[in-house]
Amino acid sequence: MPTYRAPVRDMKFLLHEILNVAELAQYEQFSEVDVDLVDAIVEESAKFSEEVLAPLNVVGDHEGCTRHDDGSVTTPTGFKEAYQTMVENGWTALPRDPNYGGQGLPGVLQIACAEMQTSANMAFSMYPGLTGGAIKAITVGGSPEQKQTYLPKMIAGEWTGTMNLTESHCGTDLGLLKTKAVPQPDGSYKITGSKIFISAGEHDMADNIIHLVLARIEGAPQGVKGISLFIVPKFKLDENENPGERNGVTCGSIEEKMGIHGNSTCVMNYDDATGYLIGEENKGLKVMFVMMNEARIGVGMQGLGQSEVAYQNAVDYARDRLQGRSLTGPKNENGPADPIIVHPDVRRMLMETRALNEGGRALLYWAAMHEDIERHSDDEKLVEKCDDYLGLLTPVIKGYLTDMAMRTTIDCQQIYGGHGFIEEWGMSQFVRDARIAMIYEGANGIQALDLVGRKLARNGGRALMTLSAEIDAFVAEHQGNENMAEFTSGLKEAKDTLTQGTMWLMQNGMTNPDNAGAGSVDYMHMLGLASLSYMWAKMALVAQAAIDNGSNDEFYSNKLITGRFFLKRMLPQIHAHLAKMKSGAEPVMALAAEAF
Amino acid sequence: MPTYRAPVRDMKFLLHEILNVAELAQYEQFSEVDVDLVDAIVEESAKFSEEVLAPLNVVGDHEGCTRHDDGSVTTPTGFKEAYQTMVENGWTALPRDPNYGGQGLPGVLQIACAEMQTSANMAFSMYPGLTGGAIKAITVGGSPEQKQTYLPKMIAGEWTGTMNLTESHCGTDLGLLKTKAVPQPDGSYKITGSKIFISAGEHDMADNIIHLVLARIEGAPQGVKGISLFIVPKFKLDENENPGERNGVTCGSIEEKMGIHGNSTCVMNYDDATGYLIGEENKGLKVMFVMMNEARIGVGMQGLGQSEVAYQNAVDYARDRLQGRSLTGPKNENGPADPIIVHPDVRRMLMETRALNEGGRALLYWAAMHEDIERHSDDEKLVEKCDDYLGLLTPVIKGYLTDMAMRTTIDCQQIYGGHGFIEEWGMSQFVRDARIAMIYEGANGIQALDLVGRKLARNGGRALMTLSAEIDAFVAEHQGNENMAEFTSGLKEAKDTLTQGTMWLMQNGMTNPDNAGAGSVDYMHMLGLASLSYMWAKMALVAQAAIDNGSNDEFYSNKLITGRFFLKRMLPQIHAHLAKMKSGAEPVMALAAEAF
């Protein structure tokens, strides 16, 4: 059975040595944040994830969720109890608004905790994860009364939440959605329609489920301009705001999926269900998109989480499994064979996964830190920069990290040979669970289109210009440092290649938008590689300084080795992406649709 | 539910216009081969695969195989009847030796038929597939009596076969195997041990199962030099050579796997089972490896087969699914949205899959044709060339085609968005089934090592030199043809880049074998890309000639479009592989094993 050990050392390195999260204490809400508090939380979270959640991961995969004839759903053995422990320990409240019972801790700390929960048990982590999305939507769009009614219970974990967007005929293109809302005299609405792929749609872990539902008010315009957002509680609230009468919403069935079996992915049927409008009529998507950007970063984190746990298990296996001899002579002479970690191709797969995980984690936490600053700083220029970076990097974090997580989980499974294909060993589950992250919250192709079609051009390309200037300044500052030469030159190469790609897009994407579309995924990967080059340069700087200051901790020298691997063995891919992109739309679009 | 339509037109194009299989009629055994016969077989095979096998694919995935308390195994509903139809129609005998009841038809025709069966139902196709491997092993190593006893029944499909190599502690490194064989006075052996991952190890479709088992005769040397190969029938044969008494071999359990659920992958327990030595004592691996090379080409074919059926379904979905609008303005103005095939990134995924499938199919059939010639020609020089090419390209066909099939099946699943993740739509099964092809018959890392460590250097590098000369000659002959300019220059670029990689390996692999190991997978992909560039140039030549001769068949112009896509959007990857490879072993091996 697979195991999980939270990468606490790497997390602390990022939180303290790279990001200096204690600096967040300058903002009122984070005034209590210091190194000790952060360490204590990371360590407690590690324990909770390793001891409570990880042992249930395989159970969830094997048992899945069960829908009963009355529409109720039972989660896998142990999930309900684990959720109770989670609630009691306050994990659901960690980053939430203290005005509604939250602990008000930084989002960057939450992302570290969420990464651990996801590595330990992705299907489980989605129940509180979706609730977080719903909390965000109510926070952004809800009235003071709605916030007061729903947020405290949801933050405490007593109630969970869901996001109801997709219908069978539309997911990406929400303008097509048909679920309808009919205004009632009392100001509420009757919601009718059917939603699919609703994660955590029905389960037995909480007293109530607060569904956030996109629907079209009778008579509203067609398309995206006629979509409103509603709160539809599973149980309507009685006069004391406790769950009372059953609302007209039921789980019609549970989807049979490739992975995340422990999460109940439901078809939700709304039949004159009572709903309450959030925000303005026909402005539902605006609220939804605020929430979705955060969710997209969370999905990038899920990719990292699966890649990390797959890596750990593959390392263990590669150290234990004896098979063949090293090409350079036996390394385990007294044994019947060498451990397969001696083989360069096994190393290659492990090193690629490691370099992506550590680089991806840095990018993710760095972005989360920018979000904390954006929300709490009064410095307009700084807030603007944070907002720019988040806009630019959200599709990269979602699209690039999950694309790469698919490859790394497959590579880690490959290290197991035939045993990787057998469910008993658990590697298949990491691959199957990671698969969804490329798809939901906007398929990765949509992320790439969002990047090249929207985020890149916003405010005259300001976000990328600011980031490029930051990178240039970093290179200028450190290129004289001989120990940093590989990192600064690699970073410069990455940034220059990216710039060529950006220029090409500017010159060719306007005249024919299909040029941008055809190169969008390549460009997203280029920005991913460039971003990770920057993260690696930042990490190398700190690691090198620690060594220069006399540290013997091998953590630092290993960091440099891993970073150099990234530059030499992974960054070259950026040139292939540029070449493919520059071939333009013509080869991609030349075949007639009917000729496929 | 997914569907399958055999790509009959593309197959005929390859068999007749590219390979001219009718030329095989010059060899005595193939004297009846002509265009009409080939077409008739391809068409009948298409019908059988589409109508009989394809409808059972999802059934097999859902039901899996069931082991009963007595050790017997039931295959999924309909498998037994489909197998009966297969046998009655003679499909198991098609390429087999006429001296034992086979039809003696070319292997290149068999590979086309097997591709269809695999696309239609990979798990099913493995039952006759494994039998083919066992037939090959008995043909290569068996005594005349053994051939007479086993081959007719196996070729007729009355009995099936298995290959028993892996034990729980060894797969790649067979030198470690422990199953023992004790000589008996009557010349037979008692076999005892446990084998795992035995595909088609036990089932209800045939009267007997002929297990080929690797074991160590008592007192034999340790390591690979002490391994012998045995025939162990499930039912011992009575005096009339009919299945009689049960032998001491039983299915201990069926593995729960990520995919190919319809195939019974068994733990096989041998307990004093009666076995008969094939060939010489301690020379079992030699026979096994002959068989395995053919099996590896078959696994490459499995990758292609899954990629093809995934492509077809993704095309159908991309044409039907209405979502969003084309970036260049609506293409389906009267509908609520455009079909997603208008979107460049959806196109990119479809085109990549298409270009790999058509190029991969060409490489596969071209290799199979070389095998037919090798076996039947008297021309020593020609036989040598065929043998060289097969040695060189077998690891590429197995490793490159299955690596790429994993990516393409994932891309095709991605086109379905959330529906791709739901088992009901069938795309998940193609991904899960394709996954095993990267692993078995030698994991792809082993293929790459076989290529750079063995096949490349054999006979002073003769195979690659011959192939390079053939490519040079092709380029020289056609580079003056303006219509072929893209193809000849692309091919030249591919070949020159490959040559740089080969030179680097020669200069650096000797001094440090880890340099070869660390670059082996990159090199395998380089040779894959170069081989496909050659196939595309050959196909373009024929397609262009047809157009020049006045053909209006869009098949030819589409072929050129797809080939150009390959050169512009996929071939650039070869440079990234070269750059990664040339960074050498140091970055890959620098981290201490305990530091991972």
Q: What is the DSSP string of B257-284?
A: BSS-TTS-EEEEEEEEEEEEEESSTTBH
Looking at CA atoms only, how far is residue B387 from chain A in angstroms?
A: 27
Q: Do B169 and A322 touch (CB under 8 A)?
A: yes
Chain A residue whose CA is closest to B266 = A422
Nearest to A513 among B323, B327, B568 (CB): B327
A512 touches chain B (CB under 8 A): yes
Q: Residue A517's pLDDT band (boundaries 50, 70, 90)?
A: very high
Give the number of A-B residue pairs with CB atoms closer than 8 Å.
265
Each residue of B195-205: b (16+ CB within 10 Å) or e?
bbbbbbbbbeb
User: Residue B421: its chain A contacts at CB < 8 A?
Assistant: 257-259, 435-436, 439
Interface of B with A in 307-326 (CB under 8 A): 315, 318-319, 322-324
Res B290: pLDDT: 83
A224 touches chain B (CB under 8 A): no
Res B225: pLDDT: 95
Q: Residue B580's pLDDT band (boundaries 50, 70, 90)?
A: very high
Looking at CA atoms only, how far is residue B592 from chain A in angstroms?
A: 9
| Predicted confidence (pLDDT) per residue in B87-137, tens digit | 999 999 999 999 999 999 999 999 999 999 999 999 999 999 999 999 999
Counting Cα atoms < 13 Å in the Cβ hemisphere of B68 gives 7
User: Residue B226: its chain A contacts at CB < 8 A?
Assistant: none
Tally of CB atoms within 10 A around A520 = 30
Is the C-alpha dihedral spanning B546, B548, B551, B553 positive or negative?
Answer: positive
Contacts of B6 (CB under 8 A, 6+ apart): B42, B45, B46, B49, B50, B116, B119, B120
Res B567: pLDDT: 98
Q: Residue B578's pLDDT band (boundaries 50, 70, 90)?
A: very high
Looking at CA atoms only, how far is residue B132 from chain A in angstroms?
A: 21
Question: Taking 90 as the threshold, does the pLDDT of residue A290 lie above it?
Answer: no
Nearest to B420 among A417, A439, A568 (CB): A439
Q: Work out the average pLDDT over B517-533.
A: 98
Counting Cα atoms < 13 Å in the Cβ hemisphere of B475 gives 19
Contacts of A23 (CB under 8 A, 6+ apart): none
B105 touches chain A (CB under 8 A): no
| Single-letter code of the amino acid located at A95 | P
Rounded Cα distance, A557 and A563, in Å: 10
Q: Do B423 and A256 touch (CB under 8 A)?
A: yes
Question: Taking 90 as the threshold, does the pLDDT of residue A1 lie above it?
Answer: no
Res B510: pLDDT: 87
- Contact predicate A73/A66, CB 8 Å: yes
Fill in the DSSP letter of residue A451.
I
| Predicted confidence (pLDDT) per residue in B188-238, tens digit | 999 999 999 999 999 999 999 999 999 999 999 999 999 999 999 999 999
Q: Do A439 and B449 touch (CB under 8 A)?
A: no
Rounded Cα distance, B464 and B469, in Å: 8
Rounded Cα distance, B314 and B411, in Å: 9
Greater pLDDT, A288 or B114: B114
Q: Do B439 and A423 touch (CB under 8 A)?
A: no
Percentage of residues in chain A with pLDDT exceeding 70? 100
Q: Do B423 and A258 touch (CB under 8 A)?
A: yes
Joined together, the tokens standing for residue A149 give 């009614």
Partners of A334 in the beta sheet?
none
Looking at CA atoms only, how far is residue A345 from chain B in angstroms?
A: 5
Question: Taking 90 as the threshold, does the pLDDT of residue B291 lie above it?
Answer: no
Chain A residue whose CA is closest to B323 = A173
Res A575: pLDDT: 98
| Predicted confidence (pLDDT) per residue in B321-363, tens digit | 999 999 999 999 999 999 999 999 999 999 999 999 999 999 9
Question: Taking 90 as the threshold, does the pLDDT of residue A372 lie above it?
Answer: yes
A290 touches chain B (CB under 8 A): no
- Contact predicate B121/B76, CB 8 Å: no
Question: Taking 90 as the threshold, does the pLDDT of residue B1 lie above it?
Answer: no
- Contact predicate A241/A148, CB 8 Å: no
A511 touches chain B (CB under 8 A): no
Q: Do A595 and B558 touch (CB under 8 A)?
A: yes
Joined together, the tokens standing for residue B164 give 């028993």
Rounded Cα distance, B368 and B360, in Å: 12
User: Residue B573: its chain A contacts at CB < 8 A?
Assistant: 576, 580
Q: Do A588 and B257 touch (CB under 8 A)?
A: no
Q: Work out the average pLDDT over B556-576.
A: 98
- Contact predicate B58/B426, CB 8 Å: yes
Rounded Cα distance, B242 and B441, in Å: 31
Interface of B with A in 136-195 (CB under 8 A): 166, 169-173, 175-176
Could you state, in order of their start, the residue ranges of all structural domains in chain A? 447-591
Rounded Cα distance, A411 and A415, in Å: 6
Q: Closest Cα partner for B288 from B235, B231, B250, B218?
A: B231
Rounded Cα distance, A95 and A110, in Å: 6
| Predicted confidence (pLDDT) per residue in A72-109, tens digit | 999 999 999 999 999 999 999 999 999 999 999 999 99
Is the C-alpha dihedral spanning B571, B576, B579, B580 positive or negative?
Answer: negative
Partners of B194 in the beta sheet?
B269
Joined together, the tokens standing for residue A315 give 């390392």
Rounded Cα distance, A474 and A464, in Å: 15
Percentage of residues in chain B with pLDDT exceeding 90? 98
Rounded Cα distance, A388 and B226, in Å: 67
User: Residue A318: its chain B contacts at CB < 8 A?
Assistant: 596
| Helix (H), strand (E), coil (C) string for A323-390 | CCCCCCCCCCCCCCCCEHHHCHHHHHHHHHHHHHHHHHHHHHHHHHHHHHHHHHCCCHHHHHHHHHHH
Res B86: pLDDT: 98
Q: Residue A69's pLDDT band (boundaries 50, 70, 90)?
A: very high
Mutation choice for A interface testing from B254, B323, B421, B552 by most A CBs within 10 A: B421
- Contact predicate A389/A465, CB 8 Å: no
Q: Do B336 and A176 touch (CB under 8 A)?
A: yes
Chain B residue whose CA is closest to A176 = B336
B562 touches chain A (CB under 8 A): yes
| Single-letter code of the amino acid located at B201 | G
Average pLDDT, chain A: 97
Distances, alpha carbon A569 to alpha carbons A403, B519, B527, in Å: 18, 10, 19
Partners of B596 in the beta sheet?
none
Interface of A with B in 339-358 (CB under 8 A): 339, 341-351, 354
- Contact predicate B261/B199, CB 8 Å: no
Question: Taking 90 as the threshold, does the pLDDT of residue A574 lie above it?
Answer: yes
Res B174: pLDDT: 92
Q: Work out the average pLDDT over A416-442.
A: 97
Mutation choice for A interface testing from B165, B216, B258, B450 by most A CBs within 10 A: B258
Counting Cα atoms < 13 Å in the Cβ hemisphere of B144 gives 0
Rounded Cα distance, A591 and B560, in Å: 10
Helices (H), B142-208: 144-156
Tally of CB atoms within 10 A around A137 = 27
Q: Work out the average pLDDT over A411-427.
A: 97
Chain A residue whose CA is closest to B436 = A421
Average pLDDT, chain B: 97
Q: Work out the average pLDDT over A427-453.
A: 97
How far the first Cα of chain A sits from its last, in Å, is 44
Q: Do B421 and A436 touch (CB under 8 A)?
A: yes
Rounded Cα distance, A569 and B502, in Å: 18
User: Residue B5: its chain A contacts at CB < 8 A?
Assistant: none
Rounded Cα distance, A496 and A283, in Å: 41
Question: Taking 90 as the threshold, does the pLDDT of residue B293 lie above it?
Answer: no
User: Residue A348: its chain B contacts at CB < 8 A?
Assistant: 518, 521, 588
